[in-house]
Amino acid sequence: MDRSHIFAGVAMIALFNGLFSPALALVIALMPVWMPEFVSPSWPMVLFTSALITAFGTLLISGIPAAIYERLAGTDETTHTSLYIWLGTVVLISLPALQIVIAVS
């Protein structure tokens, strides 16, 4: 599989987690801390930005094991193995969101 396809899968799963994660409620509750004053706090804007923050956090956290693998392996560039580690980690992080979607449907 091409490296760009693996990364696209990682990004799509992170977006899925951003929309349905249990952490989304926490990010929404902390809206007065992270949302700037000049942005109108309408519900669609809060939901959209909260989902993006959660998805971006998922990407960052799930990339840590892949970065550790690359450091220990001593590679200079990203390999398929590290991308698969990243994909597996993002799937593990997204399991609570999948459980929520299954429970609702």
Question: d(Cα 23, Cα 54) in Å, to the nearest integer?
Answer: 7
User: In residues, how long is the chain?
Assistant: 105
Would you say 96 and 18 are in contact if contact means Cβ atoms under 8 Å apart? Answer: no
The Cβ of residue 86 has, within 10 Å, a number of other Cβ atoms equal to 24
Q: What is the pLDDT of residue 76?
A: 85
Evaluate if residue 105 carries a pLDDT over 90: no
Angle of helix 3-20 relative to helix 95-104, nearest 10 degrees, comes to 60
**Which has the closest alpha carbon to 24: 2, 56, 63?**
56
58: left (phi over 0), alpha (psi -120 to 50) or beta: alpha
For 14-64, how does the pLDDT look when each residue is reduced to its tens digit (9 = 90+)?
A: 999 999 999 999 999 999 999 888 888 899 999 999 999 999 999 999 999
The pTM for the full model equals: 0.90
